[in-house]
Chains A and B, each alone.
Chain A
Amino acid sequence: MSQLHESTTTDRPASGSRDLRLSGLTKEYAAFTAVKSLDLVMPQGSFFALLGPSGCGKTTTLRMVAGLETPTSGAIHLGDTEITYAKPYKRPVNTVFQNYALFPHLNISKNVAFGLERRGVKNVGQQVADMLELVELTSQAHKKPAQMSGGQQQRVALARALINQPEVLLLDEPLGALDLKLRRGMQLELKRIQTEVGLTFVHVTHDQEEAMTMADTIAVMNQGVIEQMGAPNDLYENPKTTFVANFLGQSNLIEAEIQGREGGQVKVRVQGALASIPTERAHSESGKGWLGIRPEKVLIAEAGHPIDAPGDVITGGFITDVSFVGVSTQYMVKMPWGQELMVFEQNTGARRMLPVGTKVDVSWRPEYAFLLDASQDAKAGIEED
């Protein structure tokens, strides 16, 4: 291990951090801009997730970082070193490819040893053995990639990149091809390894749950730009755009008229009723807006019955659909103005399940609501499946 640290650490300034910085990074194809003036800082040693729908430019961004694609403009820095135009084989960056890209003619240990050998490291046997042990493939060392299962290949791809102890490890949807169970297992594994070796991981995915369970920081990307970036729960609790609100989990967005600020709150009128939003969660100050509330934050009770821990209340809804999902029940509630709200209720057993047609009132705690600019499309980021 010591030898490979030499080659990557020598050019590392003793003091400064080795954050990965993208500034104004842009990639244009003939008639199409895949990545638009991206500014991002991925702190050294963090687990950074790049989340976004298919085609939003995630792979393109990674490829520019890896050096497999030349940016049209902008710069990439690793600490103080600019690597925008460095040759891919000269960057302290390794990639776990979306399709693994294992060398079919080499066996597993040769695949894993590839990077070290190319850098002229001698006697790689021990390191390869250690690395295979880490990914629990010691017994498979002499197999060819084609003789392995998808999950095993994925671990080989990981080992092959990790063994080089790169400053930045890029993971391009490495778990995409795995079944759910294996994926959960690998997620934990990846997270464990990252904590153990302390490298910067840039993990691309379009699975929001994956991003939220694994990452320290998530950047939500849409059509070549970053919509919002932050810790997973911040992003979830306080989305700044309708896209993030819909893409990360689900949201009820209700048309609202902003009345004005009052103390630490912004007051809005929602279809006749009044509601309030804490100012730090209000991303619009006047005119119309979208009042957002997560379905699990909405409380529900039969019309006229008391609601525990009531906040802002709207009455006059009736249930149009009920689905039972074990731990919870999902209701669709048709409101007087015709919109259907989604409500998730824990099956605590405190009350029987409400049947379709029941007249109900809904309520939520004002501190959970958020307010978005009405010029945005309320349906942005809803995944059709």
Chain B
Amino acid sequence: MAELERRTLLKGSVGVAALGASAAALKWGFNTPDRKQNPADCQAKDVSATDKRLIFSNWPEYIDEDDKKYVSTLTQFEKDTGIKVDYTADVNDNNEFFAKVANQLGSCSSSKRDLFALTDWMAAKMIQVGWIQKLDASKVPNLHANIIDSLKSPGWDKKREYSAPWQSGLTGIAYNKKKVGEVKSFSELLTRKDLKGRVTLLTEMRDTMGFMLLLEGADPSNFTDAQWQKAMERLKKADGDGQFRAFTGNDYVQDLASGNVLAAEAWSGDIANAGDDNLVWIPPEEGIMIWADNMLIPNLATHKDNAEEWINYYYEPEVGAKLANYNSYICPVKGAQEAMEKVNPENVHNELIFPTEKTLSQTHGFMALDEAKSRTYEGDFSSVTAS
């Protein structure tokens, strides 16, 4: 009996010890570190002059390629400068790419890249936490001279000191003209009975909420919490009414083409590339959201000079025209429209590449959010998209 008790006691104390150790593991083993950095303290020695290379991570199918007689912009750059470009299409998703580099950049070690392209809000976030090097303005004269006005000063990088748009796009609405009558405004998506349950909106909070704010008469690039709340209310109401079928990424295009979805909040490039004549992209009456994927030079990049030379090169009008001719996104380079005459006259008046002044004047960017605000708003928005 006594023996038994001692045994259980022993077992008990082993248990308590194990619990204690577990608690310690919980506390010390798995915290996540503060990832804020100061770019000034995380600079590498630039070896651009001796090591003529450049490592660039971009989104898939975003750059023209050599084809028989056609010399791509990249090959031309390598010829002109003697810089060898390691071009990898390994950015599929902003958050995913963030996770890929967070451990290095968050602890001031090298991400093994000299340049990458990310969407506005992610670019803003990285700049905010000090992971991105400032561009040397004297080395990118073309950028400041040729960037189109609508992209010149986003809220999060007013003077384009850190970032240079690679390509830009518009967010508006698209509908399947074979299946449904004309759609003109964003508010129709929220209210039209014949669209009920056959509308998709985008999971990109800044795109969708930009429109919701516009509907409230607010300015997406400068709004108040109260306005945000009202915009959320409106979204929730429409959602509660069963107006929306889903919140999506790029995958709305198939549904739109197959007729499951009649109208959608849509990116201009997607519709231009879909090659389906029944799909029509239009700028909604309320306004248009504009976005860009921005080239950024991360901390500890060792070929910063080469990266800047690359940026400067892509802001030459002819280069911009060649690129836009390939991927049908909005060309961020002024003067590219004239240059397009020589590249492909058919595309000179393609409004999806060169939107008219009138269209561009209706574009809005989204306000730069600090980390806390961004969390709150993302949370609010997800409570609808993921409910």
Contact between A and B in the complex (any CB pair below 8 Å): no
**Hey, which bits of chain B sit against chain A, CB under 8 A?**
none
